[in-house]
Amino acid sequence: MQKITRLVAVRTASILALMLVLLLVSCEQILMDAPPSSKDNAAVFDSMWETARTKYTFFEFKRIDWNAMREKYRNRAIQAADNEALFNVLAAMLNELQDDHTNLVSKFNLSRARPFFNDSLNYDSDILNRVYLKNQELYTGSLVNAIVERGGRKFGYIRYASFLSPLDSASWGFVINRFRRENVAGMILDIRNNGGGAISNCNFLASHLATERCTVLTEMTKNGPGAKDYNPPQSLILTTAQPSFNDKRVAVLTNRNSYSAASFFPAMLKAPEFAHVRLIGDHTGGGSGLPIDFQLPNGWTYRFSGTKTFVPAGRITRAQALAAAPNANHDVDAEVGYNFEGGVPVDIRVTMNLADRTRDAILERAMDYIVNGR
């Protein structure tokens, strides 16, 4: 009896174990689609091209014929002899988007577009430090701050080098109290060469400069593969915060390397509730689309813009738009507002002469504005 019972037990257990193993390893193999081959250059290329075709947001604005890019690059990708060659082809196609939110990332390289690589820098930290800050600046959290004096007047200077650096109320409060104590004529907020970061830091700064609650930006997000598939525009509303600095003039210094969040923040300042603020320097670098990340069948990752953001209609003139982005199609979404992907136009444009090591023309012009209001 024991033998038979054992046999029954063994047989039952074997059947159950077999079923379990089969289920564990193969159920979804029957039902799931096979992923594209990681070693097939055509599959890798097609994955990137098709994803961008359905999800990138600025083809029309930048007058880019994406189908033509497929014609131009697909055969080159297929013929790429090794990973480095394939990377270079894919990066070249992505760079056709002229979008600094676009990168291809592999273990051996990171591609970047740098659309304003050849533009004037309009910033020199050496001039700034030697002529104006003189090693007297304070490092208060992420805010490098100093009192700059000219003609018997004091100006509160803040350098915020990256929107990735966190901002906090204690640091901001310390700096503002210091400026109040020193009775500065106004504030200069320098975000030149600021490559962007967290949009929440834009909110932080703007909410401490705004005179009232206001609509600052309008955003549209892709909600389908068609060229016109977007959610209705959503207004982004800002509330004020304390301690504020909205009773004296504020100059925000920008250049073409003020990108992404460092363009979102100046774009916010175009609202009427920032009448005391002027953008001075060069137009910003743009970057109005929040980047989204994807992956290729061979494991490389890449990203590009997946939204578009606007300065609400009526705040930027056509002449200003063309000055900042002369090649863009500004008729696209014109009723929504100004798409600042090509840059936020400055109120007062100044070009630095980097050969002159004795002055920062943009900073000097900012002090003029604070004194004269022009």
Span of 15-23, 125-133, 174-182, 342-350 interacting with another protein by CB under 8 A: 15-23
Q: Does 220 contact another protein by CB under 8 A?
A: no
Residues 167-196 as b or e (16 or more Cβ within 10 Å = b): beeebbebbbebbeeeebbbbbbbbbbbbb
192, amino acid identity: R
Strand pairing partners for 291? Answer: 305
Q: Does 90 contact another protein by CB under 8 A?
A: no
Q: Does 224 contact another protein by CB under 8 A?
A: yes
DSSP 118-151: TS-----HHHIIIIIITT--EEETTEEEEEEEET
Based on CB atoms, which residue is closest to another protein, 129 or 307? 307
Q: Does 32 contact another protein by CB under 8 A?
A: yes
Euclidean distance between CA atoms 268 and 260, whole angstroms = 12
Closest residue by Cα to residue 56 from 236, 290, 258: 290
Q: Does 27 contact another protein by CB under 8 A?
A: yes
Of 64, 92, 105, 121, the one binding another protein by CB under 8 A: 105
Euclidean distance between CA atoms 132 and 188, whole angstroms = 12
Q: Does 235 contact another protein by CB under 8 A?
A: yes
Based on CB atoms, which residue is closest to another protein, 2 or 372? 2
Based on CB atoms, which residue is closest to another protein, 27 or 68? 27
Length of the chain: 374
Q: Does 16 contact another protein by CB under 8 A?
A: yes
Q: Does 68 contact another protein by CB under 8 A?
A: no
Euclidean distance between CA atoms 26 and 67, whole angstroms = 39
Of 309, 310, 346, 367, the one binding another protein by CB under 8 A: 309
The residues, ordered by sequence, that sit 6+ positions from 209 with a Cβ below 8 Å of its Cβ are 244, 245, 246, 250, 269, 274, 277
Q: How far is the CB of 168 from another protein (least distance, A)?
A: 16
Sheet containing strand 153-159, edge to edge, reads: 138-140, 143-150, 153-159, 186-190, 249-254, 277-281, 348-349
Q: Does 166 contact another protein by CB under 8 A?
A: no
Span of 67-75, 168-176, 186-194, 220-228 interacting with another protein by CB under 8 A: 220-228
Span of 5-13, 115-123, 188-196, 336-344 interacting with another protein by CB under 8 A: 5-13
Of 159, 208, 222, 249, the one binding another protein by CB under 8 A: 222
Euclidean distance between CA atoms 362 and 190, whole angstroms = 10
Q: Does 5 contact another protein by CB under 8 A?
A: yes
Closest residue by Cα to residue 211 from 190, 191, 239: 239
Q: Does 225 contact another protein by CB under 8 A?
A: yes
Which run of H or of E encompasses 77? helix 66-79
Q: Does 293 contact another protein by CB under 8 A?
A: yes
Q: Does 31 contact another protein by CB under 8 A?
A: yes
Burial of 71 (0-12, 13-18, 19+ CB in 10 A): exposed
Residues that bind another protein (CB under 8 A): 1, 4-5, 8-9, 11-12, 15-16, 19-20, 23-24, 27-28, 30-33, 35-36, 38, 47, 54-55, 103, 105, 107, 110, 198-200, 203, 207, 216-217, 219, 221-225, 229, 231, 234-239, 290-301, 303, 306-307, 309
